[in-house]
Structure 1
Amino acid sequence: MMDHARDLASVQEATERLLSAAGRLDNAAVTDQSRLPGWTRGHVLAHLSRNADALVNVLEGRPMYVSAEVRDADIEHDAPRRLDAHLADLRESAARFRAAGEAPADWSRTVELRNGVTDTACQLPFRRWAEVELHHVDLGIGYELEDLPQEFTERETAFLARRFTGRFDVPATRLTDGTRAWSTGREQGEPAVTVTGSPADLLGWLAGRRDGAALAVAGGALPVLPPL
């Protein structure tokens, strides 16, 4: 089982980094385009706050979101707010998630996320950590994939590699940063494609944040990954 308490501490550290960086913005910067197509920085911040509350719902046995439509509407409603409102919401929702994560619970139980996806409860703090770290990068305010904690980069790379494992539309693929290696895609004999790159570039490609142009590919073309 994962160390959910340690991951909760990592979520808190990542949240503080994000709050500190976002706190240097101004109201105009909140309305600027983020690195996510169609989303301003305000959309990213609003999503992070609502995601924290959604994960509280999961931990407490409620549906993650009332519906996809309500989720999207909440983000659209909150996105144009002033910076101070975003920061307060992010701080308060993070505190609610931390409190829910610190409550006595069976961390081996199965919980349900969106679209019928299930996971063990002990994985939720790491899922939240991934939301905070990757969306901090998405804000485009000076925090890059190269700045992510090494432990997070390694674990998220392994998580995303597992996510694509067994996908018929992704060829059998070996990923390596020169030190560590992961396998993903179809499980049919030896991997047909080897993708090599820096930890940041590998994670960026798997997470849909980079196009893979910096990666070296042997044994075929760079696989096209389905959307997350």
Structure 2
Amino acid sequence: MIDHAHDLASVQDATERLLTAVAGLDNAAVAEPSRLPGWSRGHVLAHLARNADALVNVLEGRPMYASAEARDGDIERDAPRPLDAHLADLRDSAAGFRATGEAPADWSRTVELRNGVTDSAARVPFRRWAEVELHHVDLGIGYELEDVPADFTERYIDFLAARFSGLADVPPTLLTDGTRAWHTGRDSDRPEVTVTGTPADLLGWLAGRRDGTSLTVKGDALPKLPPL
């Protein structure tokens, strides 16, 4: 069962870690490239702020973004701002998400995200938690997947393994860190590929943050996963 209150608290903790780390940058560092192709660190920070606003929209029954063009335009508009502006925006947008999440609501209801994707309202805080953790890593400022809380890593591997399950282009795949196992890919009684690695490396590959070269693959080549 999803504990949205726990996840809201985890979002707050992750946000504080992010804000502390970002506060140690300067304007020049914000303008430098992030680990995401074509995006500066300012783009990542702008996206994080606007994503918080967008998830407030989702929880309040409005479209997540006015349009894909509006989403991209807002990020491009906000990316070049100085560090202080980014920090203030991150704090304000995080506070808005937290206030909306703490308001009385029916957490069992279904909400709509981007591109027609639907989910339980109770999972929205976890989705925000994922945004904060992964994009903190994307900034390339010393926070790595190995630093992400272990309970988040396990849950996000669960989430992504389920997301890629049933896809015809992904062979039946067993994922394991040596103690736990997950199944993904198209339906089959027997996996065609077994992928073994640390939780951080498995998460990095599933989330498109690592190329999988550190993983051990048996049975066939490492499957190609669709983008998130």
TM-score normalised by L of structure 2: 0.99
Which residue does the alignment assign to 2:48?
Answer: 48
Deviations 1:66-94 (A, max 9, x none): 00000000000000000000000000000
3-state SS, counterpart of residue 182 of structure 1: strand
Deviations 1:146-194 (A, max 9, x none): 0000000000011000000000000000000001100000112201100
Distance across 2 between alignment mates of 1:8 and 1:188: 36
Distance across 2 between alignment mates of 1:20 and 1:179: 34
Which residue does the alignment assign to 2:139?
Answer: 139
**Structure 2 residues without counterparts, runs of 5 or longer:** none
Distance across 2 between alignment mates of 1:156 and 1:87: 27
Distance across 2 between alignment mates of 1:126 and 1:120: 11
Which residue does the alignment assign to 1:225?
Answer: 225
Which residue does the alignment assign to 1:57?
Answer: 57
Structure 2 residue 182 is matched with structure 1 residue 182? yes
Which residue does the alignment assign to 2:76?
Answer: 76
Structure 2 residue 9 is matched with structure 1 residue 6? no
Hey, which bits of structure 1, 4+ residues long, moved more than 3 A? none
% identical aligned pairs? 79
Which residue does the alignment assign to 2:162?
Answer: 162
Which residue does the alignment assign to 2:33?
Answer: 33
| Aligned amino acid, residue 226 of structure 1 | P
Which residue does the alignment assign to 1:215?
Answer: 215
After TM superposition, give the deviation of residue 129 of structure 1 in Å: 0.2
Distance across 1 between alignment mates of 2:226 and 2:65: 23
Distance across 1 between alignment mates of 2:7 and 2:112: 19
TM-score normalised by L of structure 1: 0.99
Distance across 2 between alignment mates of 1:225 and 1:57: 29
Distance across 2 between alignment mates of 1:44 and 1:145: 17
Distance across 2 between alignment mates of 1:217 and 1:78: 42
| Aligned amino acid, residue 14 of structure 1 | A
Question: What is the number of equivalent residue pairs in this alignment?
Answer: 228
